[in-house]
Each structure stands twice: as structure tokens, then as C-alpha cells.
Amino acid sequence: MKKGYPRFFLLPGLILLIAIIIFPLLFTIRVTFSSWNVSQTGLNFIGGENWAEMARDTRYWGSMLRLFYLSFLTVAIQYALGFAIALFAWKGIAARRFFRVLWLIPMMTTPSLMAIIWRSIFTEDIGALNGILSRVGLNPVNWLTESGPANIAITIVEVWQWTPFMFLILLAGLLSLPKEPFMAAAIDGASAWKTFARVTFPMMAPISIGAIMIRLIDASKIFDSVFTMTRGGPGNATETPAAYIFQRSLQDFQIAYGSTLALMYLILAILTLTIIGKVFARLSKPRGI
């Protein structure tokens, strides 16, 4: 292959992306060593004070821990449910086309606007859910003011919004699977369950990994549902790093400290995702067809 061609393909995109993000990224790194806040504008130099403060910030690390289970839990549920409905929509149910459209709809809605609708569903006095509960004679649930239910409420919103993402990717994957392995399994007389475990699932592994990684990245930024429904409350029971960073950066206008928190978040996220990626790669390799 002639020289130069590979570059023609990669470089325009790479350069454009770098051109857009290089300044913000360098700026963010630089600003973490300054004290830019509401009354101190500009890039002075205060050394590692922000980083030291972050190390002591229990609220930040608490939100990180919370994020771990919130993101892994929601993505796991989304994956399981998304896979299940993708299998149904793949074959074997009537009116597939209708259900495919229906099940895609949540992803098409704007999360920040749907969060307002969800708030009007979960809100305890005039919300739809407690309205239904009271109609069937049950006691209202403190959806937003008790730590347990509040976390459940946020999980429900995230599952509703993003399961379709998994659904679509997995369904497209299923539709593109080659037919031969399934025929072979049928000839062997394998049960439906065995076919799934030995044929479908392993063949779906690469796609699953990609979808899970992208969802993990986006789920880790979980913000709209938290901010709109609970503001991180009760107390700090639902506060995620994105919500906490939002408060520091925009409400308190601590540009420098907020950037420090975000940069640490970026580093940890890249590390975690790399590890997860490696684990997935190892898990999926020796199997296959």
C-alpha cells in the first residue's frame, strides 16, 4: 500500500477532534493548579492545594462509591432486560415490528425533559405512582425523601431511558448472526436454552462488550435524573460525582476545584474502563464458536 493513504483516512478526524478538545483539556489541567473561583478570576498558581483538598473530600469519594453501584447496577439491568426484549423482538412473537418501535421510544426522548416528567411521577404528594398506590389502597411511598426508594427511583428512570440503547444494538447484532451455527445446534437436537448458552450468547459477546462499555461511560455521567428528582438528596443519599461536580463548578462557581474533581474522575474512569475492557477481552476470547 502506498504511503500517505492511511493518514488521509485517520488524520482529518483525529486532528479535528484534537483541535476541539485540546484547549479545554489543557485548560482543565492547568486550572486545577489555580484558585479560580467566584472572587478570583484567572490562572494564578497555588500548587497542589486543590488536589490535597480533594483527597480529604469525603463527600466526593462517597459519591464515587455510590456511582460504582449505581452505574454497574443500572447497566447490568439494562443489559439483561435489553437482551431479553431483543431476543423476543428477534423472532417468535407476533407484531414484532410494532414492539420494536415501541421499545425504542424511550431512547428518543430528551433525558433532561423526561426527568421532569419522572419527577411528576415520583413526587410524593401529587405524583402518579403514589396516586395509583392510594387508589388500590396502599400507603404512599417516600420515593424521593428516603434513601432506599430514592435510589430505586433513579435506577428505574435510568433503566427506562437506556434499556432501548442495549435493545437496539443487541437486536441489530442478533439479526446479523450467521444461520449455520443455529442449524448445527438444531441438528444436534439442542434445547432452546442450550442453543442460547452455547451459540447465541457467545456469538453476541463482542457486541455486548462494546455496548456495555459505551453505556458504562454514559451511565457514569448520570446527572439529569439525580439533579431533577432529588438534587442528590435525601441528605447526600443519591449524589453522584457528576451532580457534585455540577454543584461545585456551577452553583458554587469553584472552577478550579470543580475541574480538579472532574480530572480525577476522568483518570479513574479511564483506568476502570481499561481494566474492564481487558477483563472482558480475556473472558470472551477462549470461547467463541
Partner 1 sequence: MYKVLKATFITIWSLFVLFPIMWAITTSFKPESAVVNGATFIPFLEFQPSLIGWKAILPGPDSITNLITPTLNSFIVTAGATAISLIFGSLAAYGLSRFTYGWKNYSNADIIFFFVSQRIMPPVVLAIPFFLLLKELKLLDTHLGLILVLTSGLMPIVVWLMVDFFNALPREIDEMAMLEGCNPIQAFFRTILPLSKPGLTVAGMFCVIFGWNDVFFALTLTATKVLTLPVAVIALNGTVTPYWILAASTVFSIIPLVGLAFVIERFLSRGNLGGAVR
Partner 2 sequence: MFTKKVKSLLAVALPVALAASVVVITPASAGGTLTRTPGQEVSYKAYGAEYANVATTADGDDACSWYETSKKDYSGKTLRVLTHAIPNMGKPTALHAKQFEELTGGKVEVEHVSFGDLYAKQLRSYQTDTNQYDVVFNGSYQIGDFHSYYAKVPDSVTKGKGSLATLTPLYKELYKWDGETKLFGIDADRHFLKYRTDVYENAAAKAFYKSKTGKELAVPKTWKEYNLHAKTFNGYKPAGQPAGLKFAGTTEITQKGGLMFGAFIDRVAPYAKNPNVKGGFWFDENMVPQVNNPGFVAGLTDFVEATKFMPVGGKNFDLSKEIESFGRGDSLLSYTWDDAWSKSNEPTSPIKNKVKAAPLPGAEKVWNRVTKKWDTPKGGVNYAPYIAWGWSSAVTAASPSKAMAFDYLCFWANKANHKLDLTIGDMGVNPSRTEDFTSDFWVKEMNWGKPAVDSWLGTMQNYEKNTNRVFDLRVPGVSDYMTAMENAVAKALAGQATPQKALDEAAKEWNAITKRVGITKVKSAYQNVIALEDNIK
Which residues contribute to the site for partner 2 (CB under 8 A)?
A: 35-41, 53, 59, 123-127, 130, 140, 142, 144-145, 147, 230-237, 247, 250-254
How far is Cα of residue 6 from the mean position of the Cα atoms in its chain? 33
Tell me the C-alpha distance between 85 and 107, whole Å.
Answer: 15
Given partner 1, partner 2, none, residue 35, with its beta carbon under 5 to 8 Å by kind, binds: partner 2
> Distances in Å between the alpha carbon of 276 and those of 222, 240, 241, 281, 283?
19, 21, 20, 8, 10
Tell me the C-alpha distance between 231 and 155, whole Å.
Answer: 15
The least distance separating partner 1 from the CB of residue 201, rounded to whole angstroms, comes to: 15
Q: Residue 289, interface with partner 1 (CB under 8 A)?
A: no
Contact status, residue 236 vs residue 62, Cβ threshold 8 Å: yes
The letter for the amino acid at 158 is E
Residue span 199-238 as binding mask against partner 1, x where in contact by CB under 8 A, dash where not: -------xx--x--xx--xx-xx-xx--------------
Nearer to partner 2, 75 or 261 (CB): 261
The least distance separating partner 1 from the CB of residue 180, rounded to whole angstroms, comes to: 15
Nearer to partner 1, 236 or 249 (CB): 249
The letter for the amino acid at 263 is L
Tell me the C-alpha distance between 43 and 74, whole Å.
Answer: 39
Among the listed ranges 45-53, 55-63, 71-79, 81-89, the one in contact with partner 1 (CB under 8 A) is: 81-89
Q: Residue 80, interface with partner 1 (CB under 8 A)?
A: no
The least distance separating partner 2 from the CB of residue 118, rounded to whole angstroms, comes to: 14
The least distance separating partner 2 from the CB of residue 77, rounded to whole angstroms, comes to: 25
Given partner 1, partner 2, none, residue 190, with its beta carbon under 5 to 8 Å by kind, binds: none
Among the listed ranges 49-57, 95-103, 142-150, 183-191, the one in contact with partner 1 (CB under 8 A) is: 95-103
Contact status, residue 118 vs residue 225, Cβ threshold 8 Å: yes
Tell me the C-alpha distance between 274 and 268, whole Å.
Answer: 10
DSSP annotation of 38 reads S
Tell me the C-alpha distance between 149 and 99, whole Å.
Answer: 30
Given partner 2, partner 1, none, residue 38, with its beta carbon under 5 to 8 Å by kind, binds: partner 2
Tell me the C-alpha distance between 117 and 279, whole Å.
Answer: 38
- Residue with grid cell 469525603, as numbered in its chain: 58
Given partner 2, partner 1, none, residue 264, with its beta carbon under 5 to 8 Å by kind, binds: none
By CB under 8 A, what part of segment 137-166 binds partner 1?
160
Given partner 2, partner 1, none, residue 79, with its beta carbon under 5 to 8 Å by kind, binds: none
- Residue with grid cell 455521567, as numbered in its chain: 221
Residues 6+ apart with CB under 8 A from 83: 166, 170, 204, 208
The least distance separating partner 1 from the CB of residue 261, rounded to whole angstroms, comes to: 8
HSE at residue 183, side-chain half, CA atoms within 13 A, is 3
The least distance separating partner 2 from the CB of residue 39, rounded to whole angstroms, comes to: 4
What's the maximum distance between 2 C-alpha atoms anywhere in the chain?
A: 76
Among the listed ranges 52-60, 71-79, 183-191, 251-259, the one in contact with partner 1 (CB under 8 A) is: 251-259
Among 47, 176, 180, 189, binds partner 1 (CB under 8 A): 176
